[in-house]
Amino acid sequence: MDALLNLLPHIINGISLGLLFALIALGFMLIVGVMELINLAHGSLFALGAYAAMLIISPDPAWFGPLGQWYLGLPLTLRYIVGIALAPALVAIVGFGLEFCMRRTYGKDPLYGLLLTFGAAMVLEESIRLFWGSGEQVMPVPQAVSGAFLFGDLIYSRYRFFAAGFAVAVILLVWLFLERTPYGAIIKAGAHDSEMVRALGINLTRLRLYVFGFGASLAAIAGIVMTPIWGLRPHVGVDAVVPAFLIIVLGGVGSFWGAVIAGVLVGLVVGLTGAYASEWSLLSMYLLLIAVVTFRARGLFGKKSMLEA
């Protein structure tokens, strides 16, 4: 019984961590699903979103003079809401620019797309370094979601539960958008058969632009949510892109719920190994991937190809 009581906090913690992993993977999954493009700049867009939000939430008063002073006088909660709404929109614009650069690579060897997004990742990271410096940054969070609470004998972070709840809300909103709106239907159709979508008179170029921008803004949202947990430094995106890639492969490329469930599984595995065999905690997600892919090459919820018997 004691062992079970000891285990329970780790299971809850693993699930909350998994929801955050799922949030990180969401934008990545969308772009891979619709555009068949592995966006290696996902991590840098994640970092850029966090830096942009930090700029909006707590700008340097010297930059904006009296206006900046007035703005900083507003409640932190209000500035946080502005940051979490505006920063993803700004990163979506960067995503539009990146997609515009990508257009010449469509229909060619996928390596071109990989190289371009890899280059973009490096440019974005170095730009962040030039603009914000290489030191650690701290994003302030509203009082209501900061601090800790006691449950049983253990102290939990209030922000972590807020972040997990926020991740659930974003996941549900994205799902509703994809499943219950005509735009979502077009995106899904584009993922299934882009040529047929074009044949039906839908502007595929614009669809790709919007999907990439949407994916970039989801990366930014994940960056904003994760910053108070992971901290913020120019190369923080590297910590995001690897689990994101792993999760979509594990869940099955293009599968929405596959990515969510894979995220939760990775969170559980990392959380439990972190508690009971911490030296394996980083390795555990790769072992999980190997175990799944060995028996199910297309991931947990990947659809069978028409070429397969």
Binding-site ranges for another protein (CB under 8 A): 6, 9-10, 13-14, 16-17, 133-138, 146-148, 153-157, 159-160, 228-231, 233, 235, 239, 270-272, 274-275, 278-279, 281-283
Nearest distance from C-beta of residue 174 to another protein, angstroms: 23
Q: How far is the CB of 10 from another protein (least distance, A)?
A: 6
If the CB atoms of residues 99 and 125 are measured against another protein, the closer one turns out to be 125
Smallest distance from another protein to CB 162, Å: 11
Q: Considering the complex, what minimum distance in angstroms separates the CB of residue 235 from another protein?
A: 7
Q: Which is nearer to another protein, 107 or 135 (CB)?
A: 135
Give counts: helices (H), strands (E), the chain.
12, 2
Sign for the pseudo-dihedral over CA of 141, 143, 147, 150: negative
Considering the complex, state which of residue 76 and residue 86 has its C-beta at the smaller distance from another protein.
76
The nearest distance, CB 113 to another protein, in angstroms, is: 24
By beta-carbon proximity to another protein, the closer residue of 118 and 156 is: 156
Whether the Cβ atoms of residue 191 and residue 254 lie closer than 8 Å to each other: yes
* Alpha-carbon distance values, 277 to 12, 57, 168, 190, 272 (Å): 17, 38, 28, 43, 8
- Give me the half-sphere count of Cα atoms (radius 13 Å) on the Cβ side of residue 275: 15
User: What is the distance between the alpha carbons of residues 133 and 245, in angstroms, rounded to a whole number?
Assistant: 28
Measured from the CB atom, is 133 or 165 closer to another protein?
133
The rounded distance, in Å, linking the Cα atoms of 227 and 233 is 9
- Residues whose CB is less than 8 angstroms from the CB of residue 164 and which lie 6 or more positions away in sequence, other chains included: 15, 16, 19, 20
Choose among 230, 182, 222: nearest CA to 29: 222
Query: In the complex, what is the shortest distance from the CB of residue 138 to another protein, in angstroms, rounded to a whole number?
Result: 6
Residues 268 and 14 sit within 8 Å (Cβ to Cβ)? yes
Instruction: List the one residue out of 146, 171, 142 whose CA is nearest residue 21.
Output: 171
Of 82, 99, 79, 46, whose CA–CA distance to 217 is shortest?
Answer: 46
CA-based max dimension of the chain: 69
CB of 231 to another protein, least distance (A): 5
Cβ neighbourhood burial of 140 (10 Å; 0-12, 13-18, 19+) = middle
Nearest distance from C-beta of residue 62 to another protein, angstroms:
14
Output Rg (C-alpha) for the chain, integer angstroms: 20
